[in-house]
């Protein structure tokens, strides 16, 4: 049988081996802490020489420290990188701009494995004769993220595949990575002491363990394919369990372009695509009881020749309990009806706000909620509406009140993230969405 083509990855400073053992990963985290300590000492000495009193938060966020943190977490991948991604999306408005920039970069950056390490991982999953399973395998990744990287391949039967390869050691080191990363974050003082990281840590731990379970992800992919069978607006890759050992996930390769290319499409095409994605989110919440919760733009792809949206990455799929769905339904209906008492009751029930807040704090939160729901009274033009800026300004005002610093329960975090991600995508594409028509089914 012809050996598959193994194309070398061209040299790039972003091609770096993943630390594969717990000891190696601990060493990377320890090296980061040591490097930061050196930066702090140097920065403190310079401040004292200028007659200034050094401040820890300013020293830890110096340009050199920022670069050191981003580079090391990006190289480690796995739990440390995922925690940074989650923090950037859940607590960004409460963090210093420099730290927000670090975490935002972690949403988009990850080093890739060099060919030698990739070959070792493939042999560990498929055996020493793995080449017999493929007519071709491109070692140049299509994408890289916190858990693994994706490669194109051709199966022995000629099927075009996309194969997600899990980084070595990532799954086994999830808990220790998270503990070490959280300890470093607390030690550095980068996060306000009043902000409880407990729920965020629990969310990151659960999400990492689920995303590292490729058999679970394959099953979720198959479930979504069945749920969307007959809806020709969407394409879900076909799961290949026969080529999906524990550390690899094989699926059909679905040719498509980045969803951002829709920004250049005619307005009616942009509007239909974004409306379809928002409707899908509502169906996931209220009908399916199952939601793909990662709003990364890379998880949506566009097929211009058919006008279809390709859905990718089902590792962050979550079951939606009846209580969570009903709570959001109550919130939506109360908000659309301008029922402030109903909105407050729903927000408290979902854990978005703590019961017993002072009247002025309740009023501030309800004013912000009313601002958001008012935008849904008619078609919303995401290209021109200034709602994000108004909400951000109001959110910053609320965020200045320490009594209101609060991270919602883990079960609501992922849903909040999904909705916020779709809003950002709609704004990026400049779409107009007819919300009264879209929400009529559930309102």
End-to-end CA distance of the chain: 60
Write down the pTM of the prediction.
Answer: 0.76
How many C-beta atoms surround the C-beta of residue 142 within 10 A? 14
Predicted local distance difference test score (pLDDT) of residue 90: 45
Predicted local distance difference test score (pLDDT) of residue 100: 52
Q: Quote the tokens at residue 318.
A: 């979550």
Name every residue whose Cβ is closer than 8 Å to that of residue 106 and which is 6 or more positions away in sequence: 70, 73, 74, 81, 84, 85, 88
**148-155 and 143-144 strand pairing:** antiparallel
Q: Is the pLDDT of residue 27 over 70?
A: no
Mean pLDDT, the chain, as a whole number? 77
Q: Quote the tokens at residue 342.
A: 């109903």
* DSSP H or E segment with residue 302: strand 300-303
Cα 436–Cα 440–Cα 443 angle in degrees, nearest 5: 105
Predicted local distance difference test score (pLDDT) of residue 371: 86
Predicted local distance difference test score (pLDDT) of residue 48: 39
Q: Is the pLDDT of residue 185 over 70?
A: no
**432-434 and 379-381 strand pairing:** antiparallel
pLDDT band at 359 (very low <50, low <70, confident <90, very high): confident
Report how far residue 98's alpha carbon sits from residue 64's, in angstroms, rounded to the nearest whole number: 11
DSSP 3-state assignment of 374? Answer: helix
Predicted local distance difference test score (pLDDT) of residue 423: 87
List C-alpha distances in Å: 282 to 43, 161, 275, 385, 443.
Answer: 50, 30, 11, 22, 11
Predicted local distance difference test score (pLDDT) of residue 82: 59
Assess contact for 104 and 47: CB atoms under 8 A: no
> Distance of alpha carbon 71 from its chain centroid, rounded?
19
Predicted local distance difference test score (pLDDT) of residue 12: 39
Selected residue with higher pLDDT from 182 and 435: 435
Predicted local distance difference test score (pLDDT) of residue 59: 38
Q: Provide mean pLDDT across the span 63-72.
A: 54
Q: Quote the tokens at residue 398.
A: 């609320």
Predicted local distance difference test score (pLDDT) of residue 338: 95
Comparing 142-156, 250-264, 402-416, the range with the smallest average pLDDT is 402-416
Report how far residue 348's alpha carbon sits from residue 325's, in angstroms, rounded to the nearest whole number: 15
Report how far residue 301's alpha carbon sits from residue 298's, in angstroms, rounded to the nearest whole number: 7
In terms of phi and psi (left: phi > 0; alpha: psi -120 to 50; beta: otherwise), the region of 12 is: beta
Pinpoint the alpha helices (H) of 375-409: 387-399
Assess contact for 204 and 179: CB atoms under 8 A: no
Q: Provide mean pLDDT across the span 326-348.
A: 94
Q: Could you list the active site residues? A: 294
The fraction of the chain above a pLDDT of 90, given in percent, is 42
Assess contact for 84 and 73: CB atoms under 8 A: yes
Selected residue with higher pLDDT from 191 and 246: 246
- In tens, the pLDDT along 125-175 reads 999 999 999 999 998 898 877 788 999 999 999 999 999 999 888 888 777
Instruction: Count CA within 13 A, CB hemisphere, residue 430.
Output: 10
Instruction: Please tell me the chain's helix, strand, coil percentages from 3-state DSSP, rounded to the nearest 5.
Output: 55, 15, 30
Extents of the domains making up the chain: 22-110+174-192, 256-443
């Amino acid at each position: 049988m012809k050996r598959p083509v193994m194309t070398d990855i061209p040299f790039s400073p972003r091609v770096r081996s993943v630390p594969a053992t717990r000891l190696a990963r601990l060493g990377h985290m320890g090296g980061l802490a040591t490097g930061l300590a050196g930066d702090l000492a140097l920065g403190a000495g310079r401040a004292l020489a200028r007659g200034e009193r050094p401040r820890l938060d300013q020293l830890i966020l110096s340009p050199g420290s920022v670069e050191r943190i981003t580079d090391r977490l990006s190289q480690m991948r796995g739990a440390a990188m995922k925690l940074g991604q989650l923090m950037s999306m859940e607590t960004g408005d409460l963090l210093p701009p420099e730290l927000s920039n670090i975490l935002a970069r972690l949403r988009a950056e990850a080093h890739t494995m060099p060919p030698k390490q990739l070959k070792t991982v493939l042999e560990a999953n498929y055996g020493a004769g793995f080449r017999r399973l493929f007519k071709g395998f491109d070692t140049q990744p299509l994408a890289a993220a916190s858990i693994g990287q994706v490669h194109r391949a051709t199966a022995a039967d000629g099927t075009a595949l996309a194969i997600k390869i899990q980084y070595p050691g990532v799954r086994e080191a999830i808990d220790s990575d998270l503990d070490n990363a959280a300890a470093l974050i607390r030690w550095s003082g980068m996060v306000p002491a009043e902000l409880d990281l407990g729920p965020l840590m629990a969310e990151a731990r659960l999400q990492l363990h689920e995303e590292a379970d490729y058999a679970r992800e394959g099953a979720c992919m198959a479930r979504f394919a069945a749920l969307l069978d007959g809806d020709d607006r969407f394409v879900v890759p076909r799961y290949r369990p026969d080529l999906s050992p524990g550390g690899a996930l094989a699926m059909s390769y679905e040719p498509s372009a980045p969803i951002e290319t829709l920004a250049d499409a005619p307005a009616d095409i942009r509007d239909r695509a974004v409306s379809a994605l928002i409707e899908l989110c509502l169906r996931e919440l209220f009908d399916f009881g199952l939601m793909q919760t990662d709003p990364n733009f890379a998880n949506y792809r566009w097929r211009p020749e058919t006008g279809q949206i390709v859905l990718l990455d089902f590792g962050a799929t979550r079951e939606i309990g009846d209580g969570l769905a009903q709570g959001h339904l109550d919130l939506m209906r109360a908000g659309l009806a301008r029922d402030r008492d109903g909105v407050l009751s729903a927000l408290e029930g979902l854990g978005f706000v703590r019961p017993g807040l002072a009247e002025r704090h309740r009023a501030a939160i309800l004013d912000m909620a009313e601002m958001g729901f008012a935008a849904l009274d008619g078609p919303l033009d995401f290209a021109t509406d200034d709602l994000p800026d108004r909400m951000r300004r109001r959110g910053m005002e609320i965020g200045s009140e320490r009594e209101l610093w609060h991270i919602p329960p883990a079960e609501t975090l992922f849903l909040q993230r999904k909705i916020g991600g779709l809003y950002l995508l709609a704004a990026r594409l400049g779409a107009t969405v007819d919300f009264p028509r879209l929400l009529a089914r559930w309102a």
